[in-house]
Amino acid sequence: MSLAATPALVRLPVWRARFVLALFLLGFALVAGRSGYLQAIRTAFLQEKGEARYARVIDVPATRGRILDRNGEALAISTPVKSVWAMPEALEADRRQRAALARVLGMPLATLEDKLAEGAGRDFVYLKRQVPPETARQVVELKLPGVFEHHEFRRYYPGGEVTAHVVGFTGVDDVGQEGMELAYQARLAGAAGSRRVIKDRHGGIVENIGAIQAALDGQDLVLSIDGKIQTLAYGALKAAVRRHRAKAGAAIVLDVLSGEILALVNVPSYNPNNRAGLAGAQLRNRALTDAFEPGSTLKPLTIALALETGKATPRTVIDTEGGKMTIASYTIRDSHAARAMSVTQILQVSSNIGAAKLALSLPSEAMWDLYRRVGLGSPPALGFPGETAGRLRHYSSWRPVEQATMAYGHGVSVSLVQLARAYTVFARDGELVPLSLLRSAGVADGVKVLSAETARAVRSMLEAAVQPAGTGPHARIAGWRVAGKTGTSHKLVDGSYAPDKYLSSFVGLAPVSAPRLVAAVFIDEPSAGEHYGGVVAAPVFAQVMRGALRLLGIPLDAPPEPLELPGETDHAREST
């Protein structure tokens, strides 16, 4: 018997097929629903994720404002430069191409490799900042994927070392680091803008979509500085520091009508366009940041207070005890020994004993109050970084010997700017003038400190101090009447006065008939044989004042004939 094999026909349950179909339909519905949700409701999300792969927002740098002198001459300007950067992970270059890149950038290949290694894992690393546009063009011509250029600005200072301490400088990121660049950073910097671009996978910009926010350029800053007077003052000061083999020096010129600082110079200086090897001492704006004992240049204030309070008149005779006086265990000496002097002579020949006796006749509170009201012990409020307040102790701690020595500038410290400002009370008939490093217009409102009669009397005495019989004849200039005071003081070193280190100074005003300018000079540690202020600092004052008066067209008030200056006589000596 044969068996015929017939395949068994298997019938699946109808529900299983329907179940599978339902699963497919459900999956399709979920995908369709998700697609509709994303495309109709979450559109912004999808666009954001998409743009993140090709769109970028980049900064648009603002142009930093210029710094100008009062006549519109540029002291700081921004020039366009490029910075070269790379995406280390996207850089496709063999050793030969990298060597070519290093050569164009002017750096060793090893340095370039180190920069790329340091940037590994990041999508941005600077290869070189602030390169000239032609260098950036040569980099682009290498056509290296992953290497790009970036537009920015570099600060240039036409005045160089002449205006360095006033203007200051910016860092590589165009942020102020010193001087007016730092003090007015917000005003000069402006605000960077931004724009949206499309980049390829190598980071190259293929399309500029448009600006998001326009850059707001910085504002120009117009200083009170007169570039010609500044150059004149710097040249005269630098020559004097060299001639007297001094450690340093500073000078300032003020317009007593407006309170504007027309010149402010320091030696040593530096070139802000090339700061390689720059030392800290070069950066110091000594006229504003360094405090020193002013010596005899403070005597006019002591005498002014004696006149103002009625304790003396210019003709009052003071017993100067033959040039030597002892208070407690401290001995005060005069360079010009005399049994007695008038108050005018005390200032003319710079008698320490005469000034000390006048001070001891006055209440200590009154002396302290006058010093404070002329600006000693307080910063000059110029808004300049690092300006010092100096040192003025409260009168309640003064001993008699300290009150006596303060009368001739020992035991109190000031900056050169503070000292020059104090002399505006003699130039403005008793008014103290607020100072400014920004150009202003018109006559500044002063603060009344002394009566006009007292100020004029002291001004007359200061004029006598620069005559041949005084300590400052080298400050005189042909054509204009000058008034001023010499100062010579021993320097404080480790808390005691160094016997062989001096600070020589001179402060004066001109023309006496209608004062317009005050100028002050100090020379730190002259070591070429001379150290008296009348020999070291006064000639600098004369050179600077003469040039400034001519440049400003100030009318003559004295015969223009050349002056017969005395030689190096005892008249140039002053008590220290």
Residues that are catalytic: 296
* Burial track 264-279 (b if 16+ CB lie within 10 A, e otherwise): bbbbbbbbbeeeeeee
Query: For the purposes of burial, counting CB atoms within 10 Å of the CB of 321, is it exposed (0-12), middle (13-18) or buried (19 or more)?
Result: middle
**At 340, which amino acid appears?**
A
Closest CA to 449 of 369, 373, 377, 516: 373
Task: Of 493, 482, 484, 567, give the one whose Cα is nearest residue 524.
Answer: 493
Of the candidates 388, 71, 78, which has an alpha carbon nearest to the alpha carbon of residue 223?
Answer: 71
3-state per-residue secondary structure call for 49-76 = HHHCCCEEEEEECCCCCCEECCCCCEEE
Non-local (6+) Cβ contacts of 431 within 8 A are 424, 425, 446, 447, 448, 449
Let me know: does 102 contact 112? Beta carbons within 8 Å.
Answer: yes
Looking at residue 558, the DSSP 8-state letter turns out to be S
Q: Exposed, middle or buried, 107 (CB in 10 Å: 0-12/13-18/19+)?
A: middle
Contacts of 138 (CB under 8 A, 6+ apart): 104
Label the pairing between strands 74-86 and 147-156. antiparallel
Strand partners, 264: 252
What separation in angstroms does the CA of 305 have from each of 141, 392, 434? 75, 17, 21
Kindly provide the b/e burial profile for residues 414-448, where b requires at least 16 CB atoms within 10 angstroms of the residue's own CB: bbbbbbbbbbbbbbbbbbbbbbbbbbeeeebebee
H helix or E strand, kind and range, residue 366:
helix 364-373
For residue 341, the Cα-to-chain-centroid distance in whole angstroms is 44
- Let me know: does 162 contact 265? Beta carbons within 8 Å: yes
Nearest Cα to 250, choosing from 433, 525, 521, 517?
521
Q: At 111, which helix (H) or strand (E)?
A: helix 109-118
Determine if the peptide bond prior to 268 is cis (ω within 30°): yes
What is the rounded distance in angstroms from the CA atom of residue 212 to the CA atom of residue 175? 24
E strands, 123-238, where?
Answer: 125-131, 147-156, 169-170, 176-178, 193-199, 205-213, 221-222
**Residues 6+ away with beta carbon under 8 Å from 212:** 57, 193, 194, 195, 196
Q: CA-to-CA distance for 148 and 203, rounded, in angstroms?
A: 8
